[in-house]
Every structure is written in C-alpha cells, then in structure tokens.
Amino acid sequence: MSQHARKRLSWTTEATSFALRFVVFFAAWWIMAEGRLSEYTLPFVFILIATASSRGLCPPRVWRWNALAVVRFIPWFLWNSFLGGLDVALRAFRPSMPLKPEIVDLDVEVSEKPGLLMAWVVSLLPGTACIYLEGKKMRIHVLDTRKSTMDKTRDLERRLGKLCE
C-alpha cells in the first residue's frame, strides 16, 4: 500500500508507536552503555532523533493479531529456533555432515504482514535462510534439500497466516 493510500492513524496509535520505538532505542543504548546512566543528555537527544527517523523510514501500521494463534505460535517458534541452533552446532562440530544446498523460490500465500514476518522467522528454522523477498516471491537458501525443510516452511506459512486473521 502506498504512503498516500494509507489511512490516517489515530493519535493514540501514533503515540503508542512512538513510545514503543523510543523504549526499544533506549533499551539498546542502555545495554550498550552497560547500564550506566551517568551521561544521558546527548544519548537522549540521539534516541529522540532515531525514534523520529524510524517513524519516517517505517511508518506505524495497525496489525490485528489473533491472540490464540500467537500463543500457539510461540512454543513452536522456540522449539524450531532451538532445533535450528542445534543443527548449526552439529554441522560445526561434524563438518562431514552431508549437505545438498540449494536456492529455492517460493510463492508465499500469506499477506504482507505475515509475509515479512515469515522472511525473518524462516531464517531461524533448521537449515534455511531467506535471501530475497519481494511481494509474494521469496527466495530461501536451504542447506539440505533432502530434509523436510519445505514442509516446515509451508507449516510456518500456515501458522503465520493464522496470526493475522
């Protein structure tokens, strides 16, 4: 949707978006400063600038989430993230593991919101990484095409589609 076609968001949505972004940038600064708040004036100014800039680069949108689908998705996501990390660790310690890498093109059936989320999450599945996304076309790198990677990718797509119903 173009910027001109977007509906004007309410001031509460705008304020909430600004506040959440500010908190994220503040938390990132606080972590980098190792929790020291002795000097805060200049970082505060830069955090405000970063927050305002992020709003221009990525305007706020209203996403309607299906709470039950989100609750169901979280354990699935955590488990598959763990399996992805385990897969990488096994490959690092056993370099002789057989690989059959390939670049796979997918037509993603989910809408824009879960489609973008899918590009991020698919990289946490065992042996996959999104390398391109435009519209409903996604290109992923797969370490081993003999595994059930495509089944897991389609399962992820189905689950993400339910998040925003």
What is the per-residue pLDDT across 123-163, written as a single tens digit (0 to 9) for each?
777 778 888 887 778 888 888 776 677 778 888 888 887 77
The better pLDDT of the pair 113, 52 is held by 52
Q: What is the CA radius of gyration of the chain?
A: 20
Q: If you average pLDDT over residues 109-130, what whole number do you get?
A: 75
In a domain, 90, yes or no: yes
Pairing of strands 102-107, 128-134: unpaired
Say if residues 59 and 21 touch (Cβ distance below 8 Å): no
CA distance 28 to 42: 15
Are 48 and 106 contained in the same domain? no
Say if residues 149 and 127 touch (Cβ distance below 8 Å): yes
CA angle 148, 153, 157 (to 5 degrees): 150
Helices (H), 33-133: 41-57, 67-93, 112-121
Are 53 and 88 contained in the same domain? no
Are 76 and 133 contained in the same domain? yes
In a domain, 62, yes or no: no
In a domain, 146, yes or no: yes
Are 45 and 126 contained in the same domain? no
Are 80 and 121 contained in the same domain? yes
The better pLDDT of the pair 141, 38 is held by 141
CA distance 47 to 139: 34
Are 99 and 133 contained in the same domain? yes
Are 102 and 151 contained in the same domain? yes
What is the per-residue pLDDT across 60-85, written as a single tens digit (0 to 9) for each?
666 667 778 888 888 988 888 888 88
In a domain, 5, yes or no: no
Is 3 exposed, middle or buried (CB count within 10 Å of its CB: 0-12, 13-18, 19+)? Answer: exposed
Tell me 122's DSSP state: G
For residue 146, give both structure tokens.
């003999």
Tell me 4's DSSP state: T
In a domain, 29, yes or no: yes
CA distance 129 to 121: 9
| pLDDT score at 3 | 45
In a domain, 4, yes or no: no
In a domain, 112, yes or no: yes
Counted domains in the chain: 2
Find the domain containing 33 and state its range: 11-57
Are 153 and 73 contained in the same domain? yes
Are 95 and 118 contained in the same domain? yes
In a domain, 119, yes or no: yes
Q: At which residue do the structure tokens 């797969």 appear?
A: 142
Q: Is the pLDDT of residue 4 over 70?
A: no
